[in-house]
């Protein structure tokens, strides 16, 4: 939103806008175009003015239309009313004329009739009595009289009228002079009888010679002529008149408002046509009201009936309706005006919103352009059943078009169905329809473009808005390549390039699932190289690596297609073999492996080396259903193979687990015993074969078990060896030995050296010399009081590390003894190289002395050899006086065995130290003084 604000006021640069963001905008052509096109504010104002004008225009048109319709309607109404008024006025004047004609004709008839009667009666007609005879209508406003040639009334319908002279009356004079045969209609004159004026209708009487003989007169008051026009037919300002053709008014009927007006016309008006109807303007009338005027000449009489109908009255109703219509029109106009104001407001808000949306869209596009992301907006196209049929691309940026390999201008406005093949379209539709339903979708897509500049992997993100989707595409090719590389590294063993344990842990569950589905088997062959440590120790780590690689390659060459080989780590490999005939094929495969490894490997240094392996085999489904259990069982089987002498394979059997369990229990018990300090040392003396003088004590370990009592080494050392605990035990023995020496020293005993047995594993640790140094220093014991016994097997294979350790000890001044000599395979050269001090010949050879010449000869050879090498010889297991005698005869230097002493506790050993001479019969003075028995015989078998 801030960005929009900045666009909106380019002249007002906010201090918070960083130079980077300004640079960002400048770098964008769209922004430049916007700012260059002039200030945006006037543009916005222009937009608003356009909107306002549009709304006002629409409103004006609507108002104009409203008024046009209203006025047209009024006009047509008016025209219709006018038309009707003209028609009515014509009709009225016509019917008035007809009525008048009939009335005047009746009067004419009366005059004719009276003249006839007058003549016929010879002037004896009585008019006063005649009305009853129906001579003329008996109405108050119609009278008749007969006048003689002198102008004197001879008879009259009016009482007492006879004898009155009318000689000066116009009608008499006119009739007398003109001698017309027609009835004359006189102008209205004052009536003799009433205040009302009267119209005199006269007819001349002639004597037989044609001379004037008098006049028949009928006088009618105007009311007589007006009587048939009802009041109702007249409007308040209407009038109906009877005029002579010269314009003289004979009778007139007027509406209420103009009844007292002498004449309604300002000027006398003339009607030349026989009949007609017209509108006369207001200025022609005294009351200033326009009128519809209709006239009609009477047939046979020079008279004219005229109807004046006031427009004011005619249009009275119309005026009300017109007022109403105008009011409606005004109201409508106002409403439209209001509507346009509201509309303008609404549309300007809408426009604002649209503008903001447009701004947002542009900003978003700018952002995505800058971010190198592709973006699209698409609209769902719905079918008749409201199901989405297609998608229309509304907008996209260049990057987006690039991603999918089309031109942007082509894409905008295109539908998916037009740009994708039907199969591809189906996949795309499924994804897009799904996003329309759920509102969000994201996945990673691998693109198959051959163009190297094009991305190979993209992230596609779809977000629903309204009826469409906003789609962003981001290039993740680099990250993906890195990820794949990492995945490869995570799944590959760096040394051998074989798949590693991580790969296997992912792969096996799927493989087992598959096997479950198709009822197939999976075999795991866990291969652990035998004594590989020796390879490292003798040839070095680099050669060890080389051998591991060579082993991996050889194992790989033995696999069937579809089998997998994994390096678990160290010298362990697993072969995964899948299929239906596994059980039958596994043994041959295991044998092939053993045989193949037995073939020598020629390493870079030119030496060839053989390696053996122990293989444990577990098979799905009989040995387990899960990855972990199958691996565990293969491991147990492999241990069983190792325990069984190595260089062999074993199929997993349930009892292996029990044995392993027992071994683990034992190991744990040993660990606990170390912790609880349950191990103690016994000491067995080694004496001069001739004098019986104590030369040394061999430290022997025993387990003082709280329940089992004293446990001999044979019952726990093998477990300690296999578990590696032998290293800890060895260190414990050294520590206890030095403690004991320190104690004896403190007791001021005449100390003799103590020999300690160290295992090959202990020497292989490489830190034995530093442990010894530490003990020597801590306990303040002279180095000459320590002797180290090693077995022949420790020296096998010219183990470099062992040789180094031993020579370091030798250099330190520690005596080295080779124990159980004759049971291993040490060579003369090894003995010589190591510069050993003492050779302890195994008790088996001592026992064989008594069995004849061969045993003696063998013994003698060993002694000669040792002496030749400058070594002392110790015979072990001397149990009888005869053996001692023989050994003395063979020049054996020292002896050790039950004949001299069984292993003794520390306290007992202290006594032996004090005795110094331990051969039976050779008692020291002290002993003799104390009365101690020198022969201590115990029923224990063997030593450590």
Ligand X SMILES: Nc1nc2c(ncn2[C@@H]2O[C@H](COP(=O)(O)OP(=O)(O)OP(=O)(O)O)[C@@H](O)[C@H]2O)c(=O)[nH]1
Q: Using the rule CB under 6 A, give the single segment among 224-232, 291-299, 522-530, 826-834 that binds ligand X.
A: 522-530
541 binds ligand X (CB under 6 A): yes
| Residue 495 C-beta: closest distance to ligand X, Å | 5
DSSP characters over 764-815: HTS-HHHHHHHHHHHHT--GGGEEEEEEGGGGGGG-HHHHHHHHHHHHHT-E
Q: Are 682 and 903 in contact (CB under 8 A)?
A: yes
Q: Using the rule CB under 6 A, give the single segment among 453-461, 538-546, 556-564, 780-788 that binds ligand X.
A: 538-546
Binding-residue total with ligand X (CB under 6 A): 16
Q: Count the Cβ atoms, other than its own, within 10 Å of residue 56.
A: 14
Task: Give the residue carrying structure tokens 């329309």.
Answer: 436
Buried b / exposed e across 910-925, counting CB within 10 Å, b at 16+?
A: bbbbbbbbbbeeebbe
| Residue 601 C-beta: closest distance to ligand X, Å | 13
Rounded CA separation 420/152 (Å)? 128
> Which of 213, 221, 373, 528: binder of ligand X (CB under 6 A)?
528
Q: Which is nearer to ligand X, 344 or 568 (CB)?
A: 568
Binding track, positions 466-495, relative to ligand X; x by CB under 6 A: -----------------------------x
| Residue 727 C-beta: closest distance to ligand X, Å | 13
| Residue 643 C-beta: closest distance to ligand X, Å | 9
Please identify the residue of the shown chain whose CB is closest to the bound ligand X: 544
899 binds ligand X (CB under 6 A): no
Supply 80's token pair: 């219709």
Rounded CA separation 110/220 (Å)? 12
Supply 803's token pair: 């040789």
| Residue 502 C-beta: closest distance to ligand X, Å | 16
> Which of 3, 125, 527, 548: binder of ligand X (CB under 6 A)?
548
> Which of 265, 375, 503, 532: binder of ligand X (CB under 6 A)?
532
| Residue 644 C-beta: closest distance to ligand X, Å | 12
Q: Which is nearer to ligand X, 404 or 553 (CB)?
A: 553
Which residues are registered as beta bridge partners of 240?
253, 307
Q: For 2-57, give the secondary structure using H, E and C.
A: HHHHHHHCCCCCCCCCCHHHHHHHHCCHHHHHHHHCCCHHHHHHHHHHHHHHHHHH
Rounded CA separation 222/188 (Å)? 8
Q: Which is nearer to ligand X, 394 or 603 (CB)?
A: 603
Q: Which is nearer to ligand X, 149 or 609 (CB)?
A: 609
566 binds ligand X (CB under 6 A): no
Q: Using the rule CB under 6 A, give the single segment among 408-416, 530-538, 831-839, 908-916 that binds ligand X.
A: 530-538
635 binds ligand X (CB under 6 A): no
544 binds ligand X (CB under 6 A): yes
| Residue 525 C-beta: closest distance to ligand X, Å | 16
545 binds ligand X (CB under 6 A): yes
Q: Are 638 and 524 in contact (CB under 8 A)?
A: no
Supply 48's token pair: 């608003």
204 binds ligand X (CB under 6 A): no
531 binds ligand X (CB under 6 A): yes
Binding track, positions 221-260, relative to ligand X; x by CB under 6 A: ----------------------------------------
State how far the alpha carbon of 109 is from the alpha carbons of 106, 137, 821, in Å.
Answer: 5, 11, 191
Range 491-520, binding ligand X (CB under 6 A): 495
571 binds ligand X (CB under 6 A): yes
Q: Using the rule CB under 6 A, give the single segment among 442-450, 528-536, 725-733, 880-888 that binds ligand X.
A: 528-536
Q: Which is nearer to ligand X, 89 or 548 (CB)?
A: 548
> Which of 70, 175, 241, 536: binder of ligand X (CB under 6 A)?
536
Rounded CA separation 909/736 (Å)? 14
DSSP characters over 391-458: EEEEEE-HHHHHHTT--HHHHTT-BHHHHS-HHHHHHHHHHHHHHHHHSEEEEEEE-----TTS-SEE
Question: Could you tell me whether strands 838-841 and 815-821 are parallel, antiparallel, or unpaired per DSSP bridges?
Answer: parallel
Rounded CA separation 784/571 (Å)? 41
Q: Which is nearer to ligand X, 359 or 545 (CB)?
A: 545
296 binds ligand X (CB under 6 A): no
Task: Give the residue carrying structure tokens 């002198």.
Answer: 150
| Residue 545 C-beta: closest distance to ligand X, Å | 5
Rounded CA separation 59/346 (Å)? 15
Which residues are registered as beta bridge partners of 475?
458
State how far the alpha carbon of 771 is from the alpha carbons of 728, 734, 803, 809, 819, in Å.
Answer: 12, 9, 17, 11, 21
Query: Which residue intervals of 581-643 are DSSP H helices?
Result: 582-598, 627-643
641 binds ligand X (CB under 6 A): no
Task: Give the residue carrying structure tokens 């004293």.
Answer: 710
> Which of 108, 373, 530, 876: binder of ligand X (CB under 6 A)?
530
Supply 892's token pair: 């054996």
> Which of 179, 570, 600, 870: binder of ligand X (CB under 6 A)?
570
529 binds ligand X (CB under 6 A): yes
Q: Which is nearer to ligand X, 541 or 812 (CB)?
A: 541
Rounded CA separation 467/938 (Å)? 100
88 binds ligand X (CB under 6 A): no
Q: Which is nearer to ligand X, 261 or 495 (CB)?
A: 495
| Residue 577 C-beta: closest distance to ligand X, Å | 23
Per CB under 6 A, residues contacting ligand X are 495, 528-533, 536, 541, 544-545, 548, 570-571, 642, 646
């Amino acid at each position: 939103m801030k960005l929009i604000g900045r666009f909106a006021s380019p002249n007002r640069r906010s201090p918070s806008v960083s130079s980077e963001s300004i640079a960002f905008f400048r770098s964008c052509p769209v922004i430049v175009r916007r700012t260059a096109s002039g200030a945006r504010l006037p543009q916005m104002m222009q937009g608003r003015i356009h909107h306002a004008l549009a709304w006002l225009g629409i409103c004006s048109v609507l108002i104009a239309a409203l008024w046009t319709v209203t006025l047209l309607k009024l006009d047509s109404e008016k025209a219709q009313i006018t038309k009707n008024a003209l028609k009515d006025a014509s009709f009225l004047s016509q019917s008035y004329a007809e009525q008048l004609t009939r009335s005047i004709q009746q009067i004419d008839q009366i005059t004719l009739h009276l003249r006839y009667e007058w003549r016929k009666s010879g002037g004896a007609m009585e008019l006063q009595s005649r009305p009853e005879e129906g001579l003329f209508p008996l109405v108050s406003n119609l009278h008749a009289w007969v006048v003689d040639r002198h102008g004197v009334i001879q008879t009259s319908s009016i009482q007492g009228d006879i004898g009155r002279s009318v000689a000066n009356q116009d009608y008499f004079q006119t009739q007398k002079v003109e001698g017309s045969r027609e009835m004359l209609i006189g102008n209205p004159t004052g009536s003799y009888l009433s205040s009302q004026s009267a119209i005199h209708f006269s007819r001349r009487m002639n004597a037989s010679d044609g001379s004037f003989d008098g006049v028949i007169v009928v006088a009618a008051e105007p009311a007589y002529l007006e009587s048939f026009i009802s009041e109702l037919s007249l409007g308040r300002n209407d009038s109906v008149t009877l005029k002579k053709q010269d314009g003289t008014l004979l009778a007139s009927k007027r509406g209420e408002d103009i009844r007292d007006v002498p004449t309604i016309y300002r000027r006398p008006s003339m009607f030349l046509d026989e009949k007609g109807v017209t509108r006369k303007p207001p200025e022609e009338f005294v009351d200033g009201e326009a009128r519809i005027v209709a006239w009609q000449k009477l047939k046979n009489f020079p008279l004219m009936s005229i109807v004046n109908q006031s427009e004011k009255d005619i249009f009275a109703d119309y005026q009300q309706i017109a007022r109403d219509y105008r009011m409606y029109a005004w109201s409508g106009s106002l409403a439209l005006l209001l509507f346009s104001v509201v509309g303008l407001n609404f549309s300007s808000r809408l426009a604002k919103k649209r503008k903001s949306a447009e701004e947002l869209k542009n900003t978003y596009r700018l952002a995505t352009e800058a971010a190198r992301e592709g973006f699209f907006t698409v609209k769902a196209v719905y079918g008749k059943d409201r199901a989405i049929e297609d998608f229309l691309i509304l907008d996209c940026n260049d990057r987006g078009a690039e991603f999918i390999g089309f031109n942007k201008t082509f894409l905008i406005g295109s539908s998916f169905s037009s740009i994708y093949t039907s199969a591809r379209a189906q996949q795309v539709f499924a994804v897009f329809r799904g996003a329309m339903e759920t509102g969000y979708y994201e996945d990673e897509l691998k693109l198959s473009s051959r163009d190297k500049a094009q991305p190979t992997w993209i992230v596609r993100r779809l977000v629903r808005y309204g009826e469409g989707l906003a789609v962003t595409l981001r290039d993740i090719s680099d990250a993906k390549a890195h990820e794949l590389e990492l995945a490869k590294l995570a799944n590959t063993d760096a040394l051998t390039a074989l798949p590693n344990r991580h790969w296997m842990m992912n792969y096996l569950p799927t493989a087992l699932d598959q096997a479950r589905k198709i009822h197939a088997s999976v075999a795991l062959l866990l291969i652990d190289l035998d004594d590989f440590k020796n390879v490292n120790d003798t040839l070095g780590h680099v050669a060890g690596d080389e051998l591991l690689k060579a082993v991996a390659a050889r194992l790989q060459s033995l696999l069937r297609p579809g089998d997998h080989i994994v390096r678990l780590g160290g010298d362990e490999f697993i072969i995964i073999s899948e299929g239906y005939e596994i059980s039958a094929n596994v043994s041959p495969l295991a044998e092939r492996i053993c045989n193949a490894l037995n073939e020598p490997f020629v390493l870079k240094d030119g030496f060839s080396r053989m390696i053996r392996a122990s293989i444990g085999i577990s098979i799905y489904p009989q040995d387990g259903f899960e990855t972990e259990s199958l691996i565990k069982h293969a491991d147990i089987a492999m241990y069983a193979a190792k325990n069984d002498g190595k260089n062999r394979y074993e199929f997993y059997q349930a009892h292996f687990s029990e044995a392993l369990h027992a071994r683990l229990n034992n190991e744990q018990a040993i660990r606990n015993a170390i912790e609880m300090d349950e191990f103690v040392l016994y000491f067995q003396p080694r004496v001069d074969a001739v004098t019986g003088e104590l030369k040394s004590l061999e430290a022997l370990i025993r387990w003082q078990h709280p329940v089992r009592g004293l446990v001999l080494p044979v019952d726990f050392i093998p477990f300690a060896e296999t578990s590696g605990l032998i290293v800890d035990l060895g260190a414990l023995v050294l520590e206890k030995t030095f403690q004991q020496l320190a104690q004896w020293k403190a007791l001021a005993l005449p100390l003799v050296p103590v020999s300690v047995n160290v295992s090959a594993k202990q020497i292989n640790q490489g830190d034995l010399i530093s442990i010894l140094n530490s003990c020597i220093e801590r306990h303040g014991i002279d180095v000459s009081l320590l002797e180290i016994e090693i077995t022949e097997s420790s020296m096998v294979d010219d183990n470099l590390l062992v040789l180094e350790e031993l020579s370091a000890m030798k250099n330190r001044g520690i005596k080295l003894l080779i124990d159980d000599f004759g049971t291993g395979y040490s060579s003369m050269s090894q003995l010589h190289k190591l510069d050993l001090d003492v050779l302890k010949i195994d008790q088996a050879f001592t026992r064989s002395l008594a069995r004849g010449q061969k045993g003696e000869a063998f013994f003698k050879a060993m002694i000669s050899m040792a002496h030749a090498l400058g070594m002392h010889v110790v015979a072990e297991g001397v149990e009888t006086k005869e053996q001692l005698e023989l050994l003395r005869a063979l020049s054996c230097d020292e002896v050790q065995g039950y004949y001299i002493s069984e292993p003794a506790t520390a306290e007992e050993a202290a006594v032996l130290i004090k005795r110094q001479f331990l051969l039976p019969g050779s008692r020291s003075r002290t002993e003799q003084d104390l009365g101690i028995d020198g022969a201590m015989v115990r029923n224990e078998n063997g030593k450590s």
